């Protein structure tokens, strides 16, 4: 493939993705509202992801406390383990790891489900019946992913701090002191950053998964290819947007 043709395809892909994303946002404010689809997707994306988020958050906080306490003990600062775990989970690890877990579970699911509908011409049949596929299939997934990822991130943060406290208590750190430090160190900018990130990550996960699903071509092989691309692209964009949000937050609030 020539370089010009390759660049042309990438530019068109960005254009199509932008149009899909904008249409999905605009459809949130236009009738009809498919509430049943919204509730179904919220259940699949939110409640279906709770077990993996609980395990990931709890053991991430535990590992973070274990490594931090061991290192800080060399400087006589083991008491600030709670502060380090709390800031790391709320600002960074909680949102990012939750986003990556949900991306691997749900972006792939959206791409495979919509891709299968695309190659079997079910989406064309919806258009023939006068139903807007973006309104019925994409918008409920985008809105439910954004909302549920915020709650999943809060669960991950809480379990991460709890996991760190469990490990810290076994390392000789007073539990009351640990949780007091974890609570007192958090400020408004930290919580704001920790809640803004899942909003952006949820939008990325849903729109990327739906885009690759809706643009699937080539039968069952195309479905597999779209599923892989959805996970890869959404994961990379989550990490990239995490850097941008962190840099912006530090620039505004200084922390």
Q: Which two tokens stand for residue 92?
A: 């960074």
The Cα 99–Cα 122 span in angstroms is 30
The separation between the first and the last C-alpha atoms of the chain, rounded to the nearest angstrom, is: 46
pLDDT tens for 99-133 read 999 999 899 889 999 998 888 888 888 888 888 88
Neighbours of 179 (CB within 10 A): 17
Strand runs labelled E in the chain: none
Please write the tens of the pLDDT for every residue from 54-92: 999 999 999 999 888 888 878 777 888 888 899 999 999
CB 110 within 8 A of CB 206: yes
CB distance 82 to 179 below 8 Å = yes
Residues 6+ apart with CB under 8 A from 131: none
């Amino acid at each position: 493939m020539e370089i010009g043709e390759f660049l042309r395809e990438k530019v068109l892909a960005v254009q199509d993705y932008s149009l899909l994303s904008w249409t999905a946002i605009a459809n949130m404010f236009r009738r009809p509202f498919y509430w049943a689809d919204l509730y179904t997707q919220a259940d699949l994306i939110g409640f279906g992801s709770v077990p993996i988020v609980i395990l990931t958050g709890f053991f991430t906080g535990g590992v973070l406390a274990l490594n931090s306490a061991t290192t800080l003990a060399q400087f006589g600062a083991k008491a600030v383990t709670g502060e380090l775990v709390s800031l790391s989970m709320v600002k960074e690890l909680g949102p990012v790891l939750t986003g990556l877990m949900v991306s691997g579970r749900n972006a792939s699911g959206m791409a495979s489900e919509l891709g299968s509908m695309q190659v079997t011409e079910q989406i064309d049949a919806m258009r023939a019946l006068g139903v807007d596929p973006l309104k019925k299939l994409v918008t409920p997934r985008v809105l439910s992913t954004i909302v549920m990822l915020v709650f999943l991130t809060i669960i991950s943060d809480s379990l991460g701090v709890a996991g760190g406290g469990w490990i810290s208590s076994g390392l000789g750190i007073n539990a009351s002191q640990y949780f007091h430090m974890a609570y007192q160190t958090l400020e408004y900018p930290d919580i704001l950053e920790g809640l803004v990130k899942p909003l952006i990550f949820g939008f990325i996960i849903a729109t990327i998964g739906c885009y690759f699903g809706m643009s699937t071509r080539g039968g069952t092989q195309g479905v597999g290819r779209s599923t892989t691309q959805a996970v890869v692209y959404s994961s990379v964009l989550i990490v990239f947007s995490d850097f941008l949000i962190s840099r912006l937050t530090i620039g505004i609030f200084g922390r």
